[in-house]
Amino acid sequence: MQPTGRLHIGNYLGALRNWVRLQDDYDCFYCIVDYHALTTVTDPAALRPAVEDCALDWLAARLDPERSVIFLQSDVPEVAELHLLLSMTTPLSWLERVPSFKEKADEHPDNVNYGLLGYPVLQAADILLYAGERVPVGEDQLPHLELTREIARRFNHRYRPVLVEPQPIISDTPRVMGTDGVSKMSKSRGNAILMSAEPDELLRVVSTMVTDVLRPRRSDPGHPESCNVCQLHRIFSPDRYSEIWEGERTARTGCVDTKKALAVAVAEYFAPVRERRHELEARPGAVWEILAEGAARARVTARETIAAVRDAMGLGAAG
């Protein structure tokens, strides 16, 4: 995950929640990708707080550093070497056709850098360096993983089979809509509800949400199936949502009531997360220590992969 500061409920429901569960069945590596962030973030003062906020949310949500390897991408510089080496075997045409390159270039026309083009190669290095066998992805991210698989296959074919070709674990994750009700929740769109927000902040943000646009008057019956607030109640008020939906349909309740109830439900849902976050915040430096320990563990596998890749390519003294 890129460090973009505090996580929103879309990040939680669409990724983090699933990652927490995967720890029960797999040896997991979770990495905050600060090198990737440099393709768009140009203010050095912004990066560390963004990393810290991301790590705090991960740990508060119970990504567990005892069970998983949790680390910062740039703390394992071997990934930069693997990126360079894989860039020698990855055809330029594969990268030029990646849609996210075009999108990012359009978004930041004044900063179309070389790193942006190489982004998928660095992404491949992130996975292949740790010999990842499975990668949790949503359906829409499958093409990215396929590119990693192609990069690995090409390398293995040209040299020898040292890279593990990763398989997807496809997770059926919801696409959480933002407070505007029309676009995907995203930090950059300013339509996010933060998972670590305090109850009063949640009430303020949720109160601004666009609700049932087909219900111009309070006395009109509502359409919970197309209302974003009601959809979120399905997740955050699982025991009450049918009652809430019925209230909307019959106009017994109004959108304001439904939004207030959502703010309370989200605050309750994340109360243990907020509590753990506060505990961690009270221990200055704890997050960075956890990340450093994770990097030390990650480097063990990273060094083995790099040694094998260098040897396969004929670099350095014979192994």
- Convert residues 8-27 into a mask of x (bound to ligand ADP by CB under 6 A) and - (unbound): x-xx-xxx------------
Tokens representing residue 55 in the block: 């790590």
Q: Are strands 134-137 and 167-170 parallel, antiparallel or unpaired?
A: parallel
Q: What is the three-class DSSP state of 12? A: helix
Closest CA to 211 of 250, 171, 262: 262
Beta strands in 113-170 (DSSP E): 134-137, 167-170
- Whether 187 sits among the annotated catalytic residues: the reply is yes
- Chosen residue from 2, 40, 100, 231 binding ligand ADP by CB under 6 A: 2
Stretch that binds ligand ADP, among 2-10, 35-43, 155-163, 275-283 (CB under 6 A): 2-10
Whole-angstrom Cα distance, residue 139 to residue 173?
Answer: 9
Q: Which residue is nearest to ligand ADP (CB)?
A: 14
Query: In terms of CB distance, is 181 or 249 closer to ligand ADP?
Result: 181
For residue 30, what are the β-bridge partners? 70
CB of 193 to ligand ADP, least distance (A): 10
- Whether 102 sits among the annotated catalytic residues: the reply is no
Active-site option among 102, 184, 259, 260? 184
Active-site option among 102, 104, 259, 260? 104
Q: Does 73 bind ligand ADP (CB under 6 A)?
A: no
Query: In terms of CB distance, is 3 or 294 closer to ligand ADP?
Result: 3
Query: In terms of CB distance, is 187 or 259 closer to ligand ADP?
Result: 187
CB of 270 to ligand ADP, least distance (A): 16
Query: In terms of CB distance, is 113 or 186 closer to ligand ADP?
Result: 186
Closest CA to 303 of 30, 120, 81: 81
CB of 311 to ligand ADP, least distance (A): 34
Q: Please report, as residue ranges, which positions from 166 to 225 form the binding site for ligand ADP (by CB under 6 A).
A: 173, 175-176, 184-188
Question: What DSSP designation does 4 have?
Answer: -
Q: Please report, as residue ranges, which positions from 105 to 144 form the binding site for ligand ADP (by CB under 6 A).
A: 138
Residue 309 CB neighbours (<10 A): 22
CB of 149 to ligand ADP, least distance (A): 19
Query: In terms of CB distance, is 2 or 156 closer to ligand ADP?
Result: 2
User: Total residues at the site for ligand ADP (CB under 6 A)?
Assistant: 18
Query: In terms of CB distance, is 129 or 195 closer to ligand ADP?
Result: 195
Tokens representing residue 282 in the block: 């009270």
Question: What DSSP designation does 67 have?
Answer: T
Report whether 94 contacts 147 (CB < 8 A). yes
DSSP string, 216-236: -STTS---GGG-HHHHHHHHH
- Whether 260 sits among the annotated catalytic residues: the reply is no
CB of 291 to ligand ADP, least distance (A): 18
Helix (H) or strand (E) holding 191: none
b/e per residue 17-43 (b: at least 16 CB within 10 A): bbbbebbeebebbbbbbbbbbebbeee
Whole-angstrom Cα distance, residue 34 to residue 192?
Answer: 21
Residues with a known catalytic role: 104, 184, 187
Q: Given the rule CB under 6 A, which residues bind ligand ADP?
A: 1-2, 4, 8, 10-11, 13-15, 138, 173, 175-176, 184-188
